Amino acid sequence: MDAMHRTEGLLGQLIAYPTVSADSNRGLIDWAADHLTHLGARCEVMQDDTGTKANLWATFGPEQDGGLVLSGHSDVVPAEEPNWTSDPFTMVERDDNLYGRGTCDMKGFIACVMAMAPEFAGWELKKPIHIALTYDEEVGCYGARDLVAALTQKGVRPAMALLGEPTLMRVIDGHKGCCEYTTHFHGREGHASAPDKGVNAASYATRYASKLLSLEAELRGRAPADSPFDPPWSTINIGRITAGAARNVIASQAEIEWEMRPVTPRDTVQVLAEIDRYGAELLAEMQARDPAANVLREVIGEVAGLVPEDRNRMAEIACALTGANGCDVVSFGTEAGLFQSLGTQCVVCGPGSIEQAHRADEFVARSELAACLDMLAGVQRYMV
């Protein structure tokens, strides 16, 4: 059976595991570990604290520093869109496309890697090839964070990492970070006719939101001159505000859900310092009226950006294997910045289009999978 047929069969198996982030991914991870162990890989399943989620770290070749990581996240977003034309967790073929939740984001890449694993096992590797499958990328990259922490503790230092997010096989060497927060305001309820007897959480949340908007305007004015991103500045978005019970009741609770997509880590540090200072000012006002009042910024997820590097061996190899003339940047976030924090040179390059991700009738084209398999086969010349 050739690699393409293996890939399609494996993709069907992967899609059949409904690894929505809210649920366990252990079925898929345990199956993948068994599959790779039988091929001779050294596998370690790394559980989270609940035991319901796990990363897989599998290695072919010598036990030494350096080498290459092929990384993909095992989780998918929910398939609750009403306009699916087939079962999201049963792979369907139509017009040379393969449909199902996760086909492009990003089980198509994982299927390609798993299909090439017998080849990896047969190569006389001089450097290790690692396969990393992570959990909960879609909700904050929690699995990759745990994996990177574990590798740091073990002293494992891969030289390069290729993350197979859907890029239509373009080589990506940079993306912004993504920092997500919910700020909670706890005031004191009362009748609107006596505003001084309450602490209006909605009013304080409104002032906080105004501060975020002013910070966003400042970020627009200090975009790096050489920023490759569109837009070139760090952005702040207020996605959701909830507060209160009725128009004639002083709101005792309010929440602001917001995010920042920083171009540089410096912007993250500066914005958080400024908004936390302002939050402390609001809190002092609130507690002067009710000591039980509170303002709390909750971290939902902080995903590091992928910073383009002048010298990136992984980018050179990926461009040579795909025929690309150079690298691009993208606006969506990935786990690549976490691997970069290890000192690993990273690119993002994988089959499928991000335009198909998180949508009904998600699909990946067979031609994209074939191009990915060609790239992975070409890795041999750099690893033996």
Distances (CA, A) of 222 to 227, 231, 232: 11, 12, 9
Which residue type occupies 365? A
Q: Which residues contact 277 (CB under 8 A, 6 or more apart)?
A: none
| Known catalytic membership, residue 75 | yes
Residues 105, 137, 165, 335: which is the catalytic one? 137
| Known catalytic membership, residue 138 | no
CA distance 248 to 306: 48
CA pseudo-torsion sign 107, 108, 113, 116: positive
Of residues 69, 74, 83, 1, the one with CA closest to residue 31: 74
Joined together, the tokens standing for residue 327 give 């690298």
* Burial of 172 from C-beta contacts in 10 A (0-12 / 13-18 / 19+): buried
Please work out, in degrees rounded to the nearest 5, the angle formed at the alpha carbon of residue 132 by the alpha carbons of 130 and 133: 155
Residues 315, 159 contacting (CB under 8 angstroms): no
Question: Helix or strand or coil: residue 6?
Answer: helix
Catalytic residues: 75, 137
